[in-house]
């Protein structure tokens, strides 16, 4: 199991207390590209979708759920 898979499993158990860097690592491993937005917001683009995440500690639970939904769409993993 890779580090990225471990991060995803941790996100599935709880959507609270995750670092921006963890979300970034997962999204880049899924094929997203990162572009800076305004202020502390970063945009992650993929051919199927895009996600905007604010670089705060911890990342909002809604952003973590967006990352998990991206995993489900792109990799076909379950978000249980």
**How high is the pLDDT of residue 13?**
96
Strand partners, 45: 33, 50
Residue 21 lies in a domain: yes
Residues in the chain: 80
**pLDDT by residue, tens only, the chain of 80 residues:** 789 999 999 999 999 999 999 999 999 999 999 998 888 999 999 998 999 999 988 999 999 999 999 999 987 754 44
The CA–CA distances, whole Å, from 25 to 2, 4, 62 equal: 12, 7, 17
CATH classification of the domain holding 45: 3.30.920
Residue 80 lies in a domain: no
Contact 71, 30 (CB under 8 A): yes
Residue 53 lies in a domain: yes
Range(s) of the domain holding residue 35:
3-74
The whole-model pTM stands at 0.87
For the chain, the domain total comes to 1
Strand partners, 52: 43
């Amino acid at each position: 199991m890779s580090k990225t898979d471990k991060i995803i499993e941790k996100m599935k158990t709880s959507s609270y207390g995750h670092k921006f860097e963890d979300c970034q690592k997962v999204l880049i491993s899924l094929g997203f590209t990162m572009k800076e937005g305004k202020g502390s917001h970063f945009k992650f683009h993929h051919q199927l979708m895009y996600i905007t995440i604010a670089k705060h500690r911890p990342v909002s639970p809604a952003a973590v759920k967006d990352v998990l939904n991206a995993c489900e769409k792109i990799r076909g993993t379950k978000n249980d």
